Amino acid sequence: MSSIYETLLYEVKDRVGIITINRPKQLNALNSQVYRDLYCILKQIERDDQVSAVIITGSGEKAFIAGADITEMKNMTANEARSFAILGKKVGIAIKEMPQPVIAAVNGFALGGGLELALSCDLILAVEKAKFGLPEINLGIIPGNGGTQRVTRLTNIIIAKELILFGGRINAQRACELGLINKVVTSEEGLLAEAMEWAGKLVQKSVIALSLAKSAINNGIDASLETALSYELQCFAQCFASRDQEEGMTAFLERRIPVFKGQ
């Protein structure tokens, strides 16, 4: 595995781009450089038609990401904190807007900005020992990269308040029961294999249909039902401008497996 990025490792395997946050000594804490590197790699992948799905994971055995980097944040002014949060927000928007689905493979602690990054992804798998939480309140701050909003939307307002006001941790099983993550993987070694299996299923699909489905869900969620249904309708119609639609339906009628080309 090689990388031109200071804080990340990146490799492509079977059309799946695997990004590993690589600051194991700091439990992969997110400093400005990580956010900048993540933004650049995501923008690079967005344009890469050889990559049809993405996995984000953390290096080392302990943590996915133990939050934003407290050493860097400690002496920030309010203006500097705003600029830092804007960097994080750009990463979330890049994940939302890229056509490829992004899977978070949570290999340990996913705290603060780490949980927020996972929740920006499309799907989340976690090892049994993973711990989730928004401990910002214990540092005299609040979540700043979507925690107050995404946790509330995925669970409900009182669960979000429990997690954010107490700043405690929950285990992977509870996170799954609350609807914060998709699946708990029992063996630690099996996490990347399972993430690759999920990604492997996704790369068989039409990247156009995947991106339109992702867009309809992500953009519809915050709109009124009427507006969201109109947007879904447009996305549905847009599928019919693709060869993949023709291939999918032809393959069905010819009783064969479709070969989608992302066109």
Name the residues that contact ligand CO8, by CB under 6 A.
26-27, 29, 66-71, 84-85, 88, 109, 111-113, 135-136, 139, 143-145
Number of residues written out for the chain: 263
Distance between CA atoms of residues 130 and 108, nearest Å: 4
Distance between CA atoms of residues 91 and 37, nearest Å: 9
15 φ/ψ sector (left φ>0, alpha ψ -120 to 50, else beta):
left
In single-letter form, the type of residue at position 34 comes to V
The catalytic residue among 11, 72, 97, 116 is 116
By CB neighbour count within 10 A (0-12 exposed, 13-18 middle, 19+ buried), where does 16 fall?
buried
Rounded least distance, CB 215 to ligand CO8, Å: 24
Q: Which is nearer to ligand CO8, 109 or 260 (CB)?
A: 109
Distance between CA atoms of residues 110 and 162, nearest Å: 17
| Secondary structure (DSSP) of 37-87 | HHHHHHHHHHT-TT--EEEEEESSSSEEE--B-HHHHTT--HHHHHHHHHH
Q: Which is nearer to ligand CO8, 172 or 207 (CB)?
A: 172
Distance between CA atoms of residues 211 and 207, nearest Å: 6
Rounded least distance, CB 30 to ligand CO8, Å: 7
Rounded least distance, CB 177 to ligand CO8, Å: 22
Q: Which is nearer to ligand CO8, 26 or 52 (CB)?
A: 26
Rounded least distance, CB 88 to ligand CO8, Å: 2
Q: Which is nearer to ligand CO8, 17 or 135 (CB)?
A: 135
Rounded least distance, CB 190 to ligand CO8, Å: 23
136 catalytic per annotation: yes
6 catalytic per annotation: no
Q: Which is nearer to ligand CO8, 71 or 77 (CB)?
A: 71
In single-letter form, the type of residue at position 228 comes to A
203 neighbors 52 (Cβ within 8 angstroms)? yes
User: For the chain, how big is the Rg over CA atoms in Å?
Assistant: 19
Distance between CA atoms of residues 249 and 263, nearest Å: 14
Catalytic residues: 116, 136
